[in-house]
Chain A
Amino acid sequence: MKKTMVLLLTLVFSMALLSGCTSTGGPQDGEGAGTQVGDGSGAGGADTSAAGGGGAWTGSPLEDPNSPLYEKVVYFDFDTAEIRPEYVPTLRAHAEYLVNSPAARLVIEGHCDERGSREYNIALGERRAEAVKRFLEAEGVSPVQLETVSYGEERPVDLGHNEEAWAKNRRGELVYQ
């Protein structure tokens, strides 16, 4: 599973670089047959497993409440994907961890508050996740280690309908695989 994921990611990344060259070798506009066969759907890619990333650690710093790595959520202002200055140290710590643990894999989830259109929020959530990804890459993390997924407003942590709840729901979550 992990291997295919890495392979997939590498493939996806090189696709992004080559902008449009797919296995079918079609021209840019005619690419990509839709239905994908055998994409590892069975296992459910979003399930986090208990096994840690690097393997070298006993008692991962990711689980240590005294480590800056313990913090795995960053919050966003309304309708923006800008990383607030207070989260820079947290993200730097994760970047350092990822650089030093090349086998570690991170999925960055983007989330929004419930206001407005659901599909637009999916797009906004992706923009947030991508902002975190770009930050980590700028800090030297290999893109192969990073993946993003946007849940838009579909997975709120606070079910309230007020500013306080919305502020908690506009977030990026770092989910180690």
Chain B
Amino acid sequence: MKKLTGIIISLLLLFAMQAQAKLVIEITEGVEGALPIAVVPFQWMGDAATPPPEAVGKIIAADLQRSGYFKTLEEVQMLNRPSAMTEVDFRDWRALRQDNLVIGRIEPNGPGGYKVRFQLFDVYQGEQLIGYSFSTTAKDLRAIAHHIADLVYETLTGTKGAFATRIAYVVSQGSAKSPTISLRIADSDGHGAQTIVSSKEPLMSPAWSPDGRKLAYVSFENGRPSIWIQEVFTGKREKITSFKGINGAPAWSPDGHYLAMALSKDGNPDIYIMDLSRRKLRRLVRHWAIETEPSWSPDGRTLLFTSDRGGSPQIYQVSVTGGDVKRLTFENKYNARASYAPDGKSITLITRVGSQYRIGVLDLGTGSITVLTDGRLDESPSFAPNGSMIIYATRYKGKGVLAAVSTDGRVKQRLALQSGDVRDPVWSPYYK
């Protein structure tokens, strides 16, 4: 790991040109033996005076670099910049010790339109692995770039990419006494951050609907917590619960029909499930202790939750139909905020190691927890939809920042907002 310092420095991704409130991503640890890949800047075939608004090749390279599984070649080291296969001399790229090569072109395609084509090559075999062409507009150029990065990632790693996804998170900005709290969404690389709701009162616990089109969240805007559901693209929103006491920890069922939540209306926080179409509520877990933070298994059959019924917060599992409750965590005195990996074989959680709160993964097969992070106040872990990484909140230089770690703990990246305190991240599902 120490060897990596050199890599780490070269892996700083500088998106600092746009002064917007957005996330800057920095790889703090990379993987030894990352695959060398060259992504040639895509050539603009139209009028040189009106180039496309996004550097598609750069976005792709940044995505691949950020995953930690690739080491991208710096532009200055490229001997030439082909944009079609006829211009590629594989010997050049072999000399640069590149395993793979991505080239592409952007052509004008009607008013405001673009055609983006790209090819991925195996440098040593000298052959094309994939090649596609897309029609798009200026607004969606970044999305197309992320999509291409996903295709490259999947072709070369065998795992579906998660670059064309989003994250939701909460930012606190302004004076310490009276901050403004905003719920934001951004692309998985931190670009295109948009505030979807803001308030002088706390906002917390965003949760994506399984189609990625809605967010449930908790807002204290009326002086008491309520659960809201908001359509991400229209901004239309609706208050779902505002019972006496806690209205918290919303979690969508995988089919999107139900919302699990923590309510204390009947005395102390228990787990409830609401049928969203009929607005009917069912208590799933009833106990005198604290029960909160429900999370559904990918097959929708079981839920995890946090309970301190054993004297300290630990993770428990229950069938969606109720019944017996099974304790899952026995290591460490504090385990909370658990959620399943997309394959359902492990869960991520907050676990206390000594006096430090860190992100761990519990292997449901072996029952043991692997600690992935080394922070002091790490919280709110959430899996990327391909299961490759976990996003979480941590502290860096006195501020709340977002970070991500690969599920095996080998790749770490920090997403640092330029101002404000960032927290409560959650990774979107794939868009449907």
Are B239 and A20 within 8 A (Cβ)?
A: no
**Interface residue A19 (Cβ < 8 Å from any Cβ of B):** yes
Interface string of A89-116 (1 = CB under 8 A from B): 0000000000000000000000000111
Report Cα–Cα, A31/B204, bound state, in Å. 26
Are B357 and A115 within 8 A (Cβ)?
A: yes
**Interface residue B395 (Cβ < 8 Å from any Cβ of A):** yes
Are A12 and B244 within 8 A (Cβ)?
A: yes
Closest chain A residue, CB of each to CB of B202: A154
Are A46 and B279 within 8 A (Cβ)?
A: no
The listed residue (A79, A122, A149, A155) touching B248 by CB distance below 8 A is A122
**Interface residue B214 (Cβ < 8 Å from any Cβ of A):** no
Are B334 and A116 within 8 A (Cβ)?
A: yes
User: Quick check: which of B75-83, B112-120, B263-271 contacts chain A, the rest being far away?
Assistant: B263-271
Report Cα–Cα, A99/B346, bound state, in Å. 54
- Give the contacts of B241-283 with A (CB-CB under 8 A): 241-246, 248-249, 262, 264-269, 274, 279-283
A-side contacts of B350, CB under 8 Å = 116-117
Are B292 and A30 within 8 A (Cβ)?
A: no
Are A118 and B245 within 8 A (Cβ)?
A: no
**Interface residue A161 (Cβ < 8 Å from any Cβ of B):** yes
Determine how close the nearest CB of chain B comes to the CB of A115; give it in whole angstroms. 6
**Interface residue B352 (Cβ < 8 Å from any Cβ of A):** yes
**Interface residue B129 (Cβ < 8 Å from any Cβ of A):** no
Are A115 and B377 within 8 A (Cβ)?
A: yes
Q: Is the interface of A mostly helix, strand, loop or mixed?
A: loop
B-side contacts of A31, CB under 8 Å = 281
Are A117 and B176 within 8 A (Cβ)?
A: no
Are B238 and A35 within 8 A (Cβ)?
A: yes
Closest chain B residue, CB of each to CB of A154: B202
Interface string of B324-341 (1 = CB under 8 A from A): 000000000010110000
Determine how close the nearest CB of chain A comes to the CB of B400; give it in whole angstroms. 9
- Give the contacts of A138-176 with B (CB-CB under 8 A): 148-152, 154-155, 159, 161
**Interface residue B104 (Cβ < 8 Å from any Cβ of A):** no
Determine how close the nearest CB of chain B comes to the CB of A165; give it in whole angstroms. 12
**Interface residue A44 (Cβ < 8 Å from any Cβ of B):** yes
Are B336 and A116 within 8 A (Cβ)?
A: yes
User: Quick check: which of A59-67, A68-76, A123-131 contacts chain B, the rest being far away?
Assistant: A123-131
Are B205 and A30 within 8 A (Cβ)?
A: no
**Interface residue A120 (Cβ < 8 Å from any Cβ of B):** yes
Given A150-B246, A154-B202, are A126 and B224 also a contact pair (CB < 8 Å)? no
Are B293 and A117 within 8 A (Cβ)?
A: yes
Are A119 and B222 within 8 A (Cβ)?
A: no
Closest chain B residue, CB of each to CB of A28: B283
**Interface residue A88 (Cβ < 8 Å from any Cβ of B):** no
B-side contacts of A161, CB under 8 Å = 376-377, 395, 398
**Interface residue A56 (Cβ < 8 Å from any Cβ of B):** no
Kindly count the residue-residue contacts between A and B in the assembled complex, taking CB atoms under 8 Å apart.
Answer: 130
A-side contacts of B201, CB under 8 Å = 46
Determine how close the nearest CB of chain A comes to the CB of B117; give it in whole angstroms. 45
Report Cα–Cα, A47/B202, bound state, in Å. 14
Are A46 and B224 within 8 A (Cβ)?
A: yes
A-side contacts of B244, CB under 8 Å = 12, 15
Are B293 and A119 within 8 A (Cβ)?
A: yes
Closest chain B residue, CB of each to CB of A147: B244
**Interface residue A86 (Cβ < 8 Å from any Cβ of B):** no
Interface centre among B222, B282, B423 (most CB of A within 10 A): B222
- Give the contacts of A9-26 with B (CB-CB under 8 A): 12, 15-16, 19-20
- Give the contacts of B300-317 with A (CB-CB under 8 A): 306, 308, 312-313
B-side contacts of A16, CB under 8 Å = 266-267
Are A118 and B220 within 8 A (Cβ)?
A: no
Closest chain A residue, CB of each to CB of B349: A117
Closest chain B residue, CB of each to CB of A46: B223
- Give the contacts of B368-421 with A (CB-CB under 8 A): 376-377, 379-380, 395, 398
Please list the 9 inter-chain residue pairs (A to B) with the smallest Cβ-Cβ separation, ordered nearest first. A46-B223, A45-B223, A117-B336, A154-B202, A117-B337, A123-B290, A119-B249, A41-B222, A123-B269
B interface list, Cβ under 8 A from A? 176, 201-202, 204-205, 220, 222-225, 227, 238-246, 248-249, 262, 264-269, 274, 279-283, 290, 292-293, 306, 308, 312-313, 334, 336-337, 350, 352, 357, 376-377, 379-380, 395, 398, 423-424
List, sorted by A's number, 22 A–B pairs whose CB atoms are closer than 8 Å.
A16-B267, A32-B265, A32-B281, A33-B280, A35-B238, A35-B240, A36-B239, A41-B222, A45-B224, A46-B220, A46-B222, A46-B223, A114-B377, A115-B357, A119-B292, A119-B306, A120-B313, A122-B248, A124-B290, A130-B268, A155-B202, A161-B376
Given contacts A29-B282, A118-B380, 6 further A-B contacts (CB under 8 A): A34-B274, A35-B239, A46-B224, A120-B306, A122-B262, A123-B290
